[in-house]
Chain A
Amino acid sequence: MSKVDLKVKVWRGAQEGEFIEYLVPRNPHQTVLDVVTYIQRKLDPTLSYRFACRVGMCGSCAMTVNGVARWTCRTHVSKIVKGDSLEIAPLNNLPVIKDLATDMREFFNKWKGAVGFFKGSQTRHEDFAKIEPSSKERQLANAGIECIGCGVCYASCEVVESRPNYLGPAALNRAWTLSNDVRDIQQLERQRAIAGDAGCHACHTQGSCTERCPKGIEPTASIAGLKKLVARSAVRGAKWGKL
């Protein structure tokens, strides 16, 4: 490990702003979030950023590090440092509130727009629904269920960049897991919401979301699944009826 301090350029400002360089001592097993926290605690307390769990569960701390969107709490500096330099910026494709904190309202509103929420038909007074863990639907849902909502896929997606009304990989991945939830009763409503140019059909299958997802989820595959599902519903009708 190098004894030389890290030269860390950090975005300061909102939409308009500039990179300011800080010198941060290197530590073994140091994460990018450690670096940002050091700057805020020791060098400049006015730095704004967002984090919560520090262990890769909450999805709060994603930032653009050396040009790539990453979860900073689980990203070791040694794995991505270029020489002794780091450049830390807020996530792409989201408005910047201040410094490294972005406004994620639109990101989460799009989950709502994709009917990315569960609605069942049973009440708490009824017995648990029994879902066979090895059933095809459950397996498909499992493949995408571990999303932590960090926004890395959304920030990495070039379609989101060029087409601001596109729902994006995270919202569509959630729509796919719910499409495979046999208890959910909003299937056709969801399919209407995600069909078309602002939905799954806008995906170019470039796969940046899949490449960058820190949880190893494949939103590209989920979106491909949605395209097939929606097409089947539109042309022939699926088990929930015809679109």
Chain B
Amino acid sequence: MSKEMCFEGVLQAKLWYAQRISAMILGICVSIHLAIIFYAIRGGLTAQEILGRTQGNLLFALFYEIFVLACFVHAPIGMANILQETFPKLSFAKPISWVLALLILLLGSSAVIGIYSGGIL
């Protein structure tokens, strides 16, 4: 077996592991997120109400940043696998997945900063 193939295999194994761990974190995060949604929408939903809960609340910011980081790891690995399998002859799976990863990280983190700072930053 060539060295590249072997390296690729070990990399796949590591990515699989990263995806499993991030899936576990996502499972917890999604459950908490849903519970908060069910709690929050009682009696309507307003931006003030949301910001009233999240603004300046470090715990909320930390929780959602962990959520974003878990998505940042989890989704691009899955996307790369799907692209690789659907278009085996093309080699754009990795670049597209990196773009997706960076988008999730940047947009997600800016949203977290937004709800923490209340849009001041």
Contact = CB atoms under 8 A, between A and B. Distances in A.
Interface of A: 162-163, 192-197, 199, 201, 227, 230-231, 233-235, 243
A234 B11 CA distance: 8
Given A163-B88, A196-B12, 10 more contacts: A162-B85, A192-B9, A194-B9, A195-B13, A196-B11, A199-B9, A201-B9, A230-B13, A231-B17, A243-B13
Interface residues of B, number: 16
A224 to B, nearest CB: 11
Contact of A235 (B8, B14, B88): B14
Contacts of B88: 163
A227 B6 CA distance: 15
Q: What's the dominant secondary structure at chain A's contact region?
A: helix
B109 interface: no
A235 B15 CA distance: 10
Contacts, number: 49
A192, A194, A197, A231, most chain B CB atoms within 10 A: A231
B53 interface: no
B13 A233 contact: yes
Given A162-B85, A192-B1, A231 B14 contact: yes
Contacts of A227: 13, 16
Contacts of B97: none
B1 A193 contact: yes
A179 B25 CA distance: 30
Contacts of A194: 9
A103 to B, nearest CB: 23
A225 B13 CA distance: 13
A192 B84 contact: no
A243 B1 CA distance: 14
B10 A243 contact: yes
Given A192-B6, A235-B17, A201 B1 contact: no
A74 B109 CA distance: 60
A163 B89 CA distance: 11
